[in-house]
Amino acid sequence: MATAKRAFPRLFELGMIGQMEIRNRIVMPPIVTNTGTREGFVTQRTRDHYEVRAKGGVGLIIVEATHIDFPRGRGFIYQLAIDDDKDIPGLRGLAESIKRHGARAAIQIVHSGAATKSSLTGVQPVAPSPIPVKGFEMPRELTTSDIGDLVRQFGEAAGRAERAGFEGVEIHAAHYFLIARFLSPACNQRQDSYGGNTEKRARFLQETIQAMKSAVGRNYPVWCRINGQEYGVEDALSHEEAKRIACLAEEAGADAIHVSSWDHVNISYETMGKRIPPAEVPLGFMAHLAEGIKKVVKVPVIAVGRITPEVGEELLREGKADLIAIGRGLIADPELPNKAAQSF
């Protein structure tokens, strides 16, 4: 580790989220693998995928988007599930596969909302308002009773994650999924207490954080991933408003903020340059969004978006983020952290 301190002294410092100590500041962000069963159970292929990256030296692994509401909340055919106690044994084995190699194990939980299809779920998708995701069908507007049920389901899912041995839970409130669409002024046209100004649009997120904290306890790390900015449509979420949402999440009890972004127009897998940027996009292209949010919150901020160990070291040194998420680098080379630790 001595050589690591010469090459990447900040990247290999201990990291913290709440009371969870992380062996370094490298995070594997949640990336859907579609390696579960049709019922949402963990497979050996899922465990192998994460275990090899835990062996590779990453500090924190956030397991891919795992849905809390079968079948309505499912967005992918082989997506993992955490909506029932029957999911716990497989998830426990997955968490153990990660932790046995010294990495921290967290899991991201999600409701796909309007970003799914009735051909997959068997029911009409749901959303804050009847506004479809581009390329998807018209969703049904959720009632306030529906929202209360979903808040409860998120809380129950967090409890299952804790019982399965995960050491933290991330709420997916980014991209085009359900909570993100509540946060977006372009997607949320409600006239009740869950729509309107920023505080009302953030109410669902705040209540979800509070329900999860109630389920797992104040000291168990819970955090959220949000869009630091949206692009492509009128009334898209601005960076200034995203900063306010980050503060509201922190007030509700979030222990960290993971900052991504979203483009409402370019959402096909060929063109979604604001979420899966091509090689021509500059390294660290979303770092300014993490930097802006870090200026207004006291909890750790996770930066993501075409980040290499070299770029991550720079972001940490300049105080623009506290933890560095590296996705495609870890897909391409699970040993990337160990190799970085051996460089000088």
Segment 244-274, tens digit of pLDDT: 999 999 999 999 999 999 988 765 443 444 5
Cα Dmax for the chain: 58
Let me know: does 116 contact 123? Beta carbons within 8 Å: no
Answer yes or no: is pLDDT of 139 > 80.
yes
Residues 6 or more apart from 69 whose CB is under 8 A from it? 83, 111, 150, 153
Determine the Cα angle at 59 with ends 34 and 288, to 5°.
85
Residue ranges covered by each domain of the chain: 2-342
Spatial CA neighbour of 158 closest among 54, 255, 24 = 255
How many Cα atoms occupy the beta-carbon half-sphere of 153 within 13 Å? 21
pLDDT at 268: 44
Answer yes or no: is pLDDT of 212 > 60.
yes
Answer yes or no: is pLDDT of 5 > 70.
no
Spatial CA neighbour of 261 closest among 243, 275, 247 = 275
Give the mean pLDDT of 139-159.
98
Give the mean pLDDT of 9-24.
97
Give the mean pLDDT of 327-343.
94
Spatial CA neighbour of 104 closest among 14, 21, 46, 33 = 21
pLDDT at 173: 98
Q: Model pTM?
A: 0.95
pLDDT digits (tens, 9 = 90+) for 275-326: 566 777 788 899 999 999 999 999 999 999 999 999 999 999 999 999 999 9
Q: Taking the chain, what is the end-to-end CA distance rounded to the nearest angstrom?
A: 10
Distances (CA, A) of 225 to 107, 169, 304, 317, 342: 12, 11, 11, 23, 31
pLDDT at 344: 66
pLDDT at 110: 98
Distances (CA, A) of 191 to 131, 141, 278: 14, 12, 39
Let me know: does 258 contact 316? Beta carbons within 8 Å: no
CATH code given to domain 2-342: 3.20.20.70
pLDDT at 282: 86
pLDDT at 7: 87
Q: Residue written as tokens 């949206």?
A: 230
